[in-house]
Structure 1
Amino acid sequence: WGLKRPREPEPRAGVGFSFNGEGMARARLLTPCRVLSLSPTPLRRFLASLARPDLHSLSLPRATVPVRHPGPPSRNQFALRGRGLGSHLMTSSCGTQGARGPPYVPLPPATTDKDKLFEGLEAAIGSSFSSEPLSPPPNPLIIVISGPSGVGKDAVIKRLQEVREGIHFVVTATSREKRPGEVNGKDYYFVTKEDFLCMVERNELLEYALVYGEYKGIPKQQIRDFMAKGFDIILRVDIQGAATLRSILGNSAIFIFLVAENEAALVKRLIGRKTETTEMLLVRIATAREEVKHMKEFDYVVVNAEGELDRAVKLVEAIIDAEKARTWQRKVLI
């Protein structure tokens, strides 16, 4: 009748996988006319002979899935030659012959020279190993150190600056008189009350407070400049200032409460400073008792015991290091 017989579709083959109770895999090569079972060793050889794109496209189902063929098998089929573990799989023109991709690269043995083994692993993977850090650099931190008068805030900060790089102590502006031994611009910026109030009006202070009749405040620009350079910022404030900073910075800053080993030791330190009258000492002691009640509002507590300054400084350093190792990094915007 002049009609041509429809061309029979090309046969297809697939690989099915099954797993025993111990997690061992067994593969079955599925063709239109037979199912071939492969033990783990020939399975690895078979997978290694595939082109890389074919290897990536293989799926690992839990059970063997048969491959259906709509028509009768043709002469182009997979043939199995040999028996046992030495069997070789030969594919027809409809198998992986037309696959595109990089040629198979044999892996060098583990006893190979380290450099050659490194290059061999790169060649097998198909890409170079990156030398970029796996962990991003930590963000600069703001560390707020507070505590009652006489606990040694200045001593801890001074020693911290001596033993640790990459930190900047923000010099606070104050309207009080300079004490013996203090240096303007290093310990405080000593200004008049009129100048301090002008700084408040120009919004130049991150935080300020009236403490014992004198103003204290933190300049914003100083923080911005040094954080832009990657420095960690150390702020020294009283309890009132710490509460204000908490409301402004929230959890983006670290708040450390510094205390003496006991109340008696704190009073002895206040007496030893010889900077206050008896009446002022009573005020500071009463204030310290109230301030200790706010200890739980801080993130960390560090005891600065008499004669153990280095131990307190190491503990502050450990807190900073732990914060920098967190997967969730604090981020401050001033």
Structure 2
Amino acid sequence: MELDDADHPTRRRRGLLIVLSSPSGAGKTTISRMLMESDRDITMSISATTRPKRPGETDDVDYHFVDDAEFDRMIRDNEFVEWAHVFGYRYGTPKAPVKRALRRGRDILFDIDWQGARQLVPDFKEHLVTIFLLPPSMEELERRLRARGTDSDEVIVDRMRRATDEINHWAEYEYVLVNRDTDECLTQVRSIVEAERLRQARHAELDPFVRQLIGPAH
């Protein structure tokens, strides 16, 4: 649920776009969920997708499920801040709710890959915090994928191939963490978010406050 400005009348900090990326199976979804549960000031970005709805998923909660024609229209009307092809389907982040949240000083969590992160840079670089999660080993990554029990051997082979491609983009991220332990990794992600929130450039109120503090003569 989005908060109105009146809910935080003194908040003037600029919102963050927190990008959390990883190969499938490296813990991105789990860390994202735990981060949201532990920090009510973070809103999850809801992507539009052409992927069919899975059992248990809710439209406009998990994703905005659209057909190819609607996705094409959204691209033509410049309604996405980023979009990409992933495993045969298209995913995109609607622009309007992102801009609205930033104006209100809200932090938005993006569960996207390097393609989407790269597209955010031109328009939102000053708001971006990019974090990439690495698995402790490729063997452990494959074990986690198989432990899900949801994918065929063929799909797992394809996910492992894509994992190598995605990991090759690790250096494009500001922060890179090895997810050996979920709780430890969550602690590290939370520390990054807290530090980024304190950056001087994100606090528009500091300049007038300092001017008032030291007086006009200075």
Instruction: Report the TM-score range of the alignment, normalised by the length of the smaller protein.
Output: 0.7 to 0.9
Q: Hey, what's the Cα distance between the residues in 2 that align with 1:153 and 1:330?
A: 29
State the one-letter code of the partner of 1:322.
A
Specify which of 198, 205, 216 is matched with residue 325 of structure 1: 198
Specify which of 90, 102, 108 is matched with residue 227 of structure 1: 102
Q: Hey, what's the Cα distance between the residues in 2 that align with 1:329 and 1:224?
A: 16
Shifted more, 236-245 versus 143-152: the winner is 236-245
1:313 equivalent to 2:186? Answer yes
Deviation at 1:320, TM superposition (A): 1.1
Partner of residue 142, structure 2 = 267
**What secondary structure, in the 3-state scheme, does the structure 2 residue paired with 1:207 have?**
strand
Deviation at 1:261, TM superposition (A): 1.7
TM-score (norm 2): 0.81
Partner of residue 165, structure 2 = 290
Deviations 1:133-183 (A, max 9, x none): xxx953211111111111121211111111112111111111111223322
Q: Hey, what's the Cα distance between the residues in 2 that align with 1:274 and 1:192?
A: 28
**What secondary structure, in the 3-state scheme, does the structure 2 residue paired with 1:328 have?**
helix
Q: Hey, what's the Cα distance between the residues in 2 that align with 1:330 and 1:250?
A: 16
C-alpha root-mean-square deviation of aligned residues, in Å? 2.0
> Whose Rg is larger?
1
1:241 equivalent to 2:116? Answer yes
Q: Hey, what's the Cα distance between the residues in 2 that align with 1:321 and 1:285?
A: 33
Partner of residue 196, structure 1 = 71
Specify which of 43, 54, 60 is matched with residue 179 of structure 1: 54
Indicate if the aligned counterparts of 1:166 and 1:230 stay in contact, CA closer than 8 A. Answer: no
Deviations 1:269-321 (A, max 9, x none): 1112233332222111111112112111100012333xx32222221111011
Deviations 1:198-252 (A, max 9, x none): 1111111111111121000001111122222221111111122222223443354
Partner of residue 140, structure 1 = 15
Partner of residue 89, structure 2 = 214
Number of paired residues? 194
Q: Which runs of 5+ in 1 are unaligned?
A: 1-135
Partner of residue 155, structure 2 = 280
Q: Hey, what's the Cα distance between the residues in 1 that align with 2:203 and 2:90?
A: 29
State the one-letter code of the partner of 2:165.
E
State the one-letter code of the partner of 1:291.
E
Indicate if the aligned counterparts of 1:252 and 1:330 stay in contact, CA closer than 8 A. Answer: no
Change (3 A) 1:216 1:253: same
Q: Which runs of 5+ in 2 are unaligned?
A: 1-10, 205-218
| 1:151-166 aligned within 5 A | 151-166=26-41
**What secondary structure, in the 3-state scheme, does the structure 2 residue paired with 1:318 have?**
helix
**What secondary structure, in the 3-state scheme, does the structure 1 residue paired with 2:136 have?**
coil
Q: Hey, what's the Cα distance between the residues in 2 that align with 1:217 and 1:256?
A: 19
**What secondary structure, in the 3-state scheme, does the structure 1 residue paired with 2:60 have?**
coil
Aligned identity (percent) is: 35
Q: Hey, what's the Cα distance between the residues in 2 that align with 1:198 and 1:259?
A: 35
Change (3 A) 1:183 1:285: same
Q: Hey, what's the Cα distance between the residues in 1 that align with 2:158 and 2:203?
A: 37
State the one-letter code of the partner of 2:158.
V
Change (3 A) 1:167 1:184: same
**What secondary structure, in the 3-state scheme, does the structure 2 residue paired with 1:143 have?**
strand
Specify which of 172, 177, 191 is matched with residue 302 of structure 1: 177
State the one-letter code of the partner of 1:218.
T
Q: Hey, what's the Cα distance between the residues in 1 that align with 2:113 and 2:123?
A: 15
Q: Hey, what's the Cα distance between the residues in 2 that align with 1:276 and 1:144?
A: 26
Indicate if the aligned counterparts of 2:24 and 2:163 stay in contact, CA closer than 8 A. Answer: yes
Change (3 A) 1:247 1:224: closer
